[in-house]
Amino acid sequence: MVIENDRLLRALRLEPNDRPPVWLMRQAGRYLPEYLKVRAQAGSFMDLCRNAELASEVAMQPLRRYPLDASILFSDILTIPDAMGLGLQFMSGEGPVFERPIQNLKDIQSLPLPDVEEQLGYVMNVVRAMRIRIGQKLPIIGFSGSPWTLACYMLEGRGTRDFAKARSWLWREPQGLQLLLDKLCSSVTDYLAAQANAGADVLMLFDTWGGLLSEAHYREFSLQPMMKIMQALQTRHGCSLPVILFSKGCHTQIADMCESGCAGIGVDWRIDINNALQQAKGKLAVQGNLDPTVLLADPESIRSTVKKQFADAVDHAGFIFNLGHGIMPEVPPDNVTVLLEQLRQLSD
């Protein structure tokens, strides 16, 4: 079926566009008062993720407010470890916590591979519900956490500043870590393929903690598993949807990412967007990378920052306007309006 607004798809194919596509990471979420009402109705965050009607409603909320060029699945990157039996909870003031984190090699060896349709079918139900609500107006982005990022949480048990416990496996038990990454590669591949079958048009891998690694470790333990997933999507599932890799803090690895087989890369604010586009050399799309804290600034600062980024990137095929990370809960919704109105004025 043909998507009516195909700007994102055209950018990922490096085709001419009337203007750069724009969507925003975490465009649905806690900064929106209408989200908070639905979240309270659901009872808990995971109850919200498991309720297709409410989760698809949350995904629609930013589309009603803003002129965006894509919708993204409303879910969480840690659904796969939860389905593997680690017991995901979201603790107030702490974020995600696993009841049963991985302690040793035996835990990895006994870790089950989930049946994605049976144990994660609620995610596919959200994608299907989104497609019904959106129709063919916009593309839907499905996603997963990258194997390395999932492994960080599974080994640490919760989010931390430096994931020291997880990173220690690089040195003391690299074969055990590789076994865990292999299991996650298989599960993430099946999970993304199921999202594609449910109606997603684009797939994204969130490698949130790739930037913790050295360049050599990044290639071995983060990028290679993601490359395996992209290859397996095609060979095992016949899935040819474009994939975006977002490796936060990995701007020194752009050359390697460009050879990975992905259709686009996401970059954060620690690299100039023009620099990222030049490194990509027209081989793939580049998404990013406004510092999300600019949305806490005054309207004129937002406008001037958007103008600069737009001027640097507008002439590059494959540029996708986005933030360098997700919208923060403290952001006033009106500031997002300022950003998008400025972008629209520059595009007219």
| Catalytic positions, written as ranges | 26, 30, 39, 76, 153
What Cα–Cα distance (Å) separates residue 196 from each residue in 60, 69, 228, 234, 248? 19, 18, 17, 12, 24
The two three-digit tokens of residue 15, written as one number: 């085709």
Q: Is the dihedral of CA 281, 16, 295, 301 positive or negative?
A: positive
| 246-249, Cβ contacts within 8 angstroms, sequence gap of 24 or more | 246/25, 246/204, 246/205, 246/206, 246/207, 246/208, 246/287, 247/146, 247/207, 247/210, 247/211, 247/218, 247/222, 247/223, 248/207, 248/208, 248/209, 248/210, 248/211, 248/325, 249/210, 249/211, 249/212
Judge residue 5's burial from the number of C-beta atoms within 10 Å of its C-beta, 0-12 exposed, 13-18 middle, 19 or more buried: middle
